[in-house]
Amino acid sequence: MGFLVSSPLARFRFWYRIVVAVAVCGLWTLAASKLPAQQTPAQAVQAVNAALEKNAPDEASKALEAALEKHPDSLELQRLRIGLYSAFLTAGRPLEAADQLAAYTRFLIALPAPQADGTAQAAQLAVPASLEPYIARMVATYQQANKVDAAFKALDAIIEAGQKAKADLTPAIRGKALLLAETGRADEAEKLVEQLVAEQQPSSDQKRDATANQRWLEALRLKRDLLQQIRSPKAAEAEESYAKALADIAAQPNSPVTLLAYYVNQQLSEIAGLTSSDPEAASARLKNLQNWIDSLPAERVAETTKSLWNRSIASLQSRVERELKLTKLVGSDAYPIGSATWLNGDPLTDDDLKGKVVLLDFWAVWCGPCIATFPHLREWHEKYHGRGLEIVGVTRRYQFGWDEQAKRPRREPNITPEQEDEATKKFLQHHQLKHRIAVLPDDSPLYQQYGISAIPTAILIDKSGKVRMVRVGSGDQNARDLEKMIEQLLAQ
């Protein structure tokens, strides 16, 4: 049944309107089909990860920045900067790597704090508890790129963002103060930290304010660390002030649980710092902390909270026990390297190493922390090789080739041992490593003999062939400990 239209003119007008409407809809459909679809954050994450998987950090970076223009507040997208940091660093581009960490940290410090009632948005709950590790790594990477000025500029930008957000500035101030001290500006660093301590000291009506007390304690800890680093005569006093403030929290019966949690976390952090340098002291302090937690009455701290603390203690205890096993190596005879494929020069026999100070560096091409130790290894080879230090990088074959375009290792499941060795040589050239590399066969017992459970691990051997120091990880303290011992052993 058709429409009832009264006259030819009316019918014409009716069908004219229909044709025009259809044409307009068609034009809109065509135009819409040519407009680029706006990516959701999840789609952008997939695009960036796809670029990272094919070793294309520049492509990944462009994709991320384009997505952040539309979704600047997406924590999911901002988190991708961590992957970009690793990709740029592995590609031998530390400046771009550090810039990624700087941008990520600047974003994190500007995020709104949780509400006073303890509630927070889901995204906020996923934010790292401390920015300190990110800032420390950022500064170290700028230094690796020989861009100290860029590090100071990035730190100032982070501090400015934190000031606007009324955030805790201690992690950023710590990074800047320690960098000032390292670059010969200790007086400026001390003034900066003294100002922070004065600003953060709680007023009389803030004595039970957990946030205010935590910020003050962090400032006191920074002051202690800085004065120790610059070997100030006031370092002992700063250590005593910080220890007393922590002890007061533990002793006060009315300290809120949030402050007690801070106390536990600080104890665990300091004990973790002792695991490599003094595992026996770490074990004793863990026992004391466990006894203190056990003594807390249930009405003060819930059993669920205690259970969480106890799990952290158990995890750290496992690390301490591993370190105690490693310390038993100290004073024992070094194990022979045995059969190996040698890169970066002629093969070294065990006889060639007799009478030398030997640093065995257990590492892998895919290991980011291992790459972070390369500046130290380059410096030590240049500085001490002529005096009798022999650095030997010890590794295995992990089926990694070399991506010449991306300048980074690439997993290749079907690579032959000979091809992998050639790829590793290119990796060594790219990172300007000149010490010898021993590639061990799969049946080598050396990893088991030295108890290697994590890399990088450094085994330092004296001229008589005795193990004198073992360090696990790429931290600056480990590097300082190793260099100090290298100098002592070379002087003997």
Domains of the chain: 39-111+129-167 (1.25.40.10), 341-491 (3.40.30.10)
How many other CB atoms sit within 10 Å of the CB of residue 424?
Answer: 25
Assess whether pLDDT exceeds 50 at residue 425: yes
Residue 126 has pLDDT above 80, yes or no: no
| pLDDT score at 28 | 41
pLDDT of residue 266: 86
Mean pLDDT of the region 313-339: 89
> Which of the two residues, 22 and 147, has the higher pLDDT score?
147
CA atoms within 13 A on the CB side of 155: 27
Contact 387, 398 (CB under 8 A): no
pLDDT of 119 over the 50 cut: no
- pLDDT, residue 84, reads 93
- Where residue 353 falls among pLDDT bands split at 50, 70, 90? very high
> What backbone torsions phi and psi does residue 409 show, to the nearest 5 degrees?
-65, 155
440-491 pLDDT, tens digit each? 999 999 999 998 888 999 999 999 999 999 988 888 888 999 999 999 999 9
Average pLDDT over residues 83-100: 93
Whether 128 shows a pLDDT value over 90: the answer reads: no
Kindly indicate the confidence band of residue 323, based on its pLDDT and cuts at 50, 70 and 90.
Answer: confident
**Amino acid 38: pLDDT:** 63
Averaged pLDDT, 202-218: 80
pLDDT of 11-22, one tens digit each?
Answer: 445 444 544 444
Please report the pLDDT score of residue 24 as a whole number: 41
- Of the ranges 39-48, 199-208, 314-323, 413-422, which one carries the lowest mean pLDDT score? 199-208
Question: Does the structure show a pLDDT above 60 at 262?
Answer: yes
| Average pLDDT of the residues in 227-249 | 89
Query: Is the predicted pLDDT of residue 390 greater than 90, yes or no?
Result: yes
First to last CA, the chain: 110
Q: Is the dihedral of CA 442, 348, 380, 92 positive or negative?
A: negative
Q: CA-CA distance, 197 to 177, in Å (whole number)?
A: 13
- Average the pLDDT over 394-409 and give the result: 93
User: Between residues 4 and 255, which one has the greater pLDDT?
Assistant: 255
Among residues 378, 384, 490, which one has the least CA distance to residue 430?
378
Read off the pLDDT of each residue in 23-40 and give the average, rounded to a whole number: 46
Q: Is the model's pLDDT at 34 over the cut of 70?
A: no
Structure confidence at residue 292 (pLDDT):
92
Report which residue type is found at 40.
T
Residue type, 156: D
pLDDT of residue 116: 42
- Arithmetic mean of pLDDT over the chain: 86
pLDDT score recorded for residue 464? 95
Burial 220-230 (b: 16+ CB within 10 A, else e): bbbbbbbbebb
Asked if pLDDT for residue 127 goes beyond 80, the answer is: no
Phi, psi of 100 (to 5 degrees): -65, -45
In this structure, are residues 406 and 55 in contact, taking their beta carbons and an 8 Å threshold? Answer: yes
The percentage of residues in the chain with a pLDDT greater than 90, rounded to a whole number, is 57
